[in-house]
Every structure is written in structure tokens, then in C-alpha cells.
Chain A
Amino acid sequence: GAGVSQSPSNKVTEKGKDVELRCDPISGHTALYWYRQSLGQGLEFLIYFQGNSAPDKSGLPSDRFSAERTGGSVSTLTIQRTQQEDSAVYLCASSLSGTDTQYFGPGTRLTVL
């Protein structure tokens, strides 16, 4: 079946602009994660959705970052007033439940000029 998809694959924006990144998880997966991966760094946890429960937002680096998950499926990560330090690859992963293997999308490479 189809894997996790993300769009856009690349996004170049100017400092101060808002951006939206989209994630389509594997059908039937109730858990969805967002991570950030900077060059030479490990995966930084951002936010976690599980079913209809309140999301775990403990990894969001500032209040400029927010995420939604509509209908328990598609998720959007929004970064407001982007800064150059937001430049990174943003990865989305989904799993059957919060304790299962995560399957990753191809990522969105964000460049803030």
C-alpha cells in the first residue's frame, strides 16, 4: 500500500513568511509524529498525535510552530514568521499506535532565506 507522503518536497521562503507543510499518513495509522532534522543532527521530536487524544506538543521549539490533524488523517505543520534557524528537513512518521514501528515520509526540505 501507499506509504507516508509529504508535500511540498522542497520549500524556499523568505524570513518572516508563514509556511505550511503537509503529511498524509499510512491509511489506518492512528499515530502521527513530526520531527525536524538539521544537518548533522539527530531527529528532533516536535509533536505527536494519537487518535482523538490531545496532541503532545512538548517538542515544539516556539509558539511560532503549530500543527493540526484533521479527521484523524492528514496533518499540517505551520511555521509562522519563519527564521533562518528554521531551515531543516521536516519529517513526518505514522504508526499503527503510539508504541509501534514508525514509518517515515520523504520529508520536506525547508530553506529560509
Chain B
Amino acid sequence: EDQVTQSPEALRLQEGESSSLNCSYTVSGLRGLFWYRQDPGKGPEFLFTLYSAGEEKEKERLKATLTKKESFLHITAPKPEDSATYLCAGGGTGNQFYFGTGTSLTVIP
């Protein structure tokens, strides 16, 4: 069964305390692993797409990596404004996208 699992469900960090969010996937014929950020009351905002194992992408304090089984979103020296829910999704065969339930990140000043 195709699915995406994210961990932890919630994460509290002190400002400046680096950490990683995990996205494990079992998606047949993965054609893209997508990361989004979602703020309360808003739609998901696109962050990254990764297409092949070993690929890495960076944006400000965020770096996404991909292996054959999982993806990580590394957050370096986070700030309070990084607080949000981070979603990952695997693009499967056809038009199917499989979303995880997200990691709720809180960065404490």
C-alpha cells in the first residue's frame, strides 16, 4: 500500500536549536517527493521537490534530502517564524499524491 508517514507529530525547539523532520515513504514508482509548509488557516505553501535519491535542496534555513526510503527536512538555527506545520507528499503513478499528516513545529524564542 502506498503511504507516507511523518515523524515526529510535533516538535518544540528553542530558537537556534537545529533538528530534522522525517518523512518515510512507500510509494510505488515515486516520481517526486514534495515538501510544503502550512501556517494556521492557510493553504500549504510549496517548499521543495526532490526527484532522486541523493538529491538535496536548500532554502534559507531549510535543507531537504532524499534517500530511497525517506526524506529529511533539516532546519538549521530555526527562528520563531519557522513555526508551522510541515507536510510531505509522495507523487505516485498516475496522478496520485500521498500526503503525510505533518509535523507541527514550534520554535520558542
Q: Given B45, B95, B96, B99, which contacts A43 in the complex, CB threshold below 8 Å?
A: B99
Interface pick from A14-22, A63-71, A75-83, A97-105? A97-105
Chain A residues contacting B95 (CB-CB under 8 Å) are 31, 48, 50, 56, 98-99
Q: How far is the CB of B68 from chain A (nearest CB, A)?
A: 20
Q: Chain B binding site: helix, strand, loop or mixed by DSSP?
A: loop
What's the least CB distance linking B50 to chain A, in Å? 11
Interface size class of B (residues with CB under 8 A): 20 to 34
A91 at the interface (CB under 8 A from B): yes
A33, B91: Cα distance in complex, Å: 13
Dominant secondary structure at the A interface: strand
Interface size class of A (residues with CB under 8 A): 20 to 34
A25: interface (CB < 8 Å): no
